[in-house]
Structure 1
Amino acid sequence: MDSSRIALNYLRLVYPPVSSFEAEYIASDSEVKAVLEDSNFYMIAKRPQIFFGHPEISSDDTLLTLPLKMTLDTGETVEDCAEINLDELPSSSPHADITLSFDEGHKFFSIHEGSASEVDADRAPLLDWFTTEKLLFDRWRNKPGISGLHHLRKFTNYELLYVGISNENNTGVRLFSGSHEARQRILNNEFAIYGGGRISEEIYLFAFDIEPVSVRTLALTDRLTGHPGGPDFLEKKKVIADAEKAFIDLLGVKYNRTKYENYPKGKDGLHTSGLSGYMYQIAESITLVAENCTFRGDRDLLTGYPTNCANALVIRDELTTVFDPPDSNEGDDCSTD
């Protein structure tokens, strides 16, 4: 058996998707800034707005049912319901009052312990909060106490517009806080899908981290070395640089001006790393619709790794391809229910 070395690279979000409109408000939040420091790889995508419907609380005050609604550019309406188990919230008292607070646009709500007057006076402890994107994110991440959304994948289809990396800082500084040229071009050129809505509310920012995993197949004469800096060690900066080129080249991205037509060849990627092959998958339950193909991510509820339904960008020698597993065409059967 010949020895080979394969790198499996998994993309995971460090924070829920954020609309360009919301990014302006969270960019200065110290907790969010700290989370975004873990990301140097990002994407910008587009999707119609989702709105929360009228919530209902069960007669025993234990279950909150929350409708979600989205109108596509075809005029079709997509609707589903999330269920939040209020007993799972970190309440200090099982008999405390629960108050819901919605914003005027019905795209954000918070759950407080206390009366409405205490919420208004900012004296009610915050138990949890949700944007429409955070609720979807928490559901496919299998957060305790959240169920429903059996057709979640219908809400997580995005048109991929841009892929980028931050070499000098991080995604928070480069994309959320800084003056990002491609983000501005997108806001200037894209048309809103939802009538009367801001285009900035339909453009979403994705902050990813990449987990590189090196896998070796050993011949009988090989010696196993796995210490940092040895043959099993991949420099993360090179993985990030290569991932940017892979997604741009194989998927085709509208607002990326540089197309990397010679990929996988390049000085700052993985081409000269001695790998027999490598691939990229998204370990999140989102679908990216790009110019060349539709690329599906999918997350296993137990392990957090991609499922058999996830597509993969596969690079072996000079050959590149988008691997489409048979299971990925099964629709909602592959979603996180």
Structure 2
Amino acid sequence: MDFFKRAPDEFKLQVQANKDSLYVYLERDQVFKATPDGLLMRRGRKQSLVTGFDNYREMMTFDLLYAGIAKKNQDSYSRLIEKGHKARMDILAAEDQRSPGARVSDETYLLLFEVEPLILASFSGTGELDDEDLNFSFDYHRIIADAEKAVINAFKPKYNKQLYLNYPKGADGLYEQGYDGYSYSIAEGFAFNTAYGTIKGARDSEECLLSNYADFISVNGDKVTLNISGKDFNITIDDSQLEN
């Protein structure tokens, strides 16, 4: 809570809450506000502000119904909300309610993700490095397009008509772009129910997005593999090693 940095030595906090939000006041100034979804998001991101909620991922598990991307000339709001999106309309019209008395529109979440690339390069031999070797630029739009196809190909969401059965081959993705391999994982405390089971996301800490507890899709040449944490790989790290 940032207000502690400027708070006096002695102070009293007032807390108010209703079913939707929790508010914290320092005198008349609102210094903190939280919603249930917001707290669960913070917990999934391993923020030190929130402890407990150890079942946060169970509470943040969604049915994956559709995956898409925003285009270069069209943001997510205009694509999904402003102009109306066919898959979104189909979901609202055709899906059954998950809880008795609920409306499908209240149970539908639009989750907007940002891709954070981490590119690793290795060098060997005794030759000198030139400018091309040290060029770590990348095409962000290619990564976005490839990530969409990887998710759709691996999970086959119910309302995606184009399943990209030839992935990883494609003209606008990462295929034959010079990478030995690449992978995708979700760095959020979410899980998604798919036709192939529940796929888990995770992050190692507030600052470190990579986590051994996250499932991931890997691509090596023409081979695409879905790797499940604790089943296909299980790397344990002793807490004492982290402290040291």
TM bracket (short chain): 0.7 to 0.9
Contact 2:47 2:205 in 1 (8 A): no
What is the deviation of 1:201?
Answer: 1.7
Structure-to-structure mapping, 1:269-288, within 5 angstroms: 269-288=173-192
Q: Is the 1:284–1:306 Cα contact (8 Å) retained in structure 2?
A: no
> In structure 2, which of residues 99, 104, 107 is the aligned counterpart of residue 194 of structure 1?
99
Gaps of 5+ in 2: 235-244
Kept in 2: contact 1:308–1:328 (CA 8 A): no
Give the CA deviation at 1:185: 1.2
Paired with 1:194 and 1:204, the residues of 2 have a C-alpha distance of 15
**1:70 counterpart residue number:** none
- Tell me the residue number matched to 2:11: 95
SS in structure 2 of the partner of residue 308 of structure 1: coil
1:194-236 per-residue CA deviation (whole Å, 9 max, x = no partner) reads 1112212211111111111221222315554577993x32200
Shift of 1:142: 3.0
SS of match in other structure, 2:152: helix
CA distance in 1, matches of 2:90, 2:69: 17
- 2:217 & 2:56 partners in 1: Cα distance? 24
Q: Deviations over 1:2-60 (max 9, x none)?
A: xxxxxxxxxxxxxxxxxxxxxxxxxxxxxxxxxxxxxxxxxxxxxxxxxxxxxxxxxxx
Whether the aligned pair in 1 keeps the contact of 2:227 and 2:233 (CA below 8 Å) is: no
Question: What's the secondary structure of 1:134's corresponding residue?
Answer: helix
2:166 is aligned with what amino acid?
Answer: N
In 2, Cα distance between the equivalents of 1:193 and 1:148? Answer: 26
Counterpart Cα distance in 2 of 1:163 and 1:308: 24
Instruction: Report % sequence identity.
Output: 28
Pick which of 181-190 and 253-262 moved more: 181-190
Task: Kindly state the Cα deviation for residue 163 of structure 1 after the two structures are TM-superposed.
Answer: 0.7
1:211 equivalent to 2:119? Answer no
Structure 1 residues 173 and 328: alpha-carbon distance in aligned structure 2, compared to 1, 3 A threshold: farther
Structure number with the bigger relative contact order (C-alpha 8 A, sep ≥ 6) is 1
Q: Distance in 1 between matches of 2:131 and 2:55?
A: 43
User: Residue 109 in 1 paired to residue 59 in 2?
Assistant: no
> How far apart, CA to CA, are the structure 1 residues paired with 2:60 and 2:74?
28
Task: Supply the distance in 1 between the matched residues of 2:34 and 2:81 (Cα, whole angstroms).
Answer: 19
1:174 aligns with 2:174: no
Q: Give the 3-state SS of the residue equivalent to 1:161 in structure 2.
A: coil
Does structure 1 conserve the Cα–Cα contact (< 8 Å) formed by 2:69 and 2:148?
yes
More strand by share: 1
Matches within 5 A, 1:117-136: 124-136=28-40
Task: State the superposition RMSD in angstroms.
Answer: 2.7
Matches of 1:199 and 1:224, distance apart in 2 = 57
Structure 2 CA distance, aligned partners of 1:127 and 1:291? 43
Q: Hey, what's the Cα distance between the residues in 2 that align with 1:132 and 1:229?
A: 45
What amino acid is aligned across from residue 121 of structure 2 in structure 1? R
Structure 2 distance, partners of 1:322, 1:173, is 32
Q: Give me the whole-angstrom Cα distance separating, in 2, the residues matched to 1:242 and 1:291.
A: 21
More off after superposition, 171-180 vs 234-243: 171-180
Separation in 2, partners of 1:100, 1:251: 42
| Deviation for aligned residue 1:262 | 0.7
In structure 1, runs of 5+ residues without a counterpart are 1-87, 116-123, 331-337
1:311 maps to what in 2? Answer: 215
The CA deviation at 1:173 is: 3.4
Query: Does the CA contact (< 8 Å) of 2:187 and 2:203 recur in 1?
Result: yes
Deviation at 1:130, TM superposition (A): 2.4
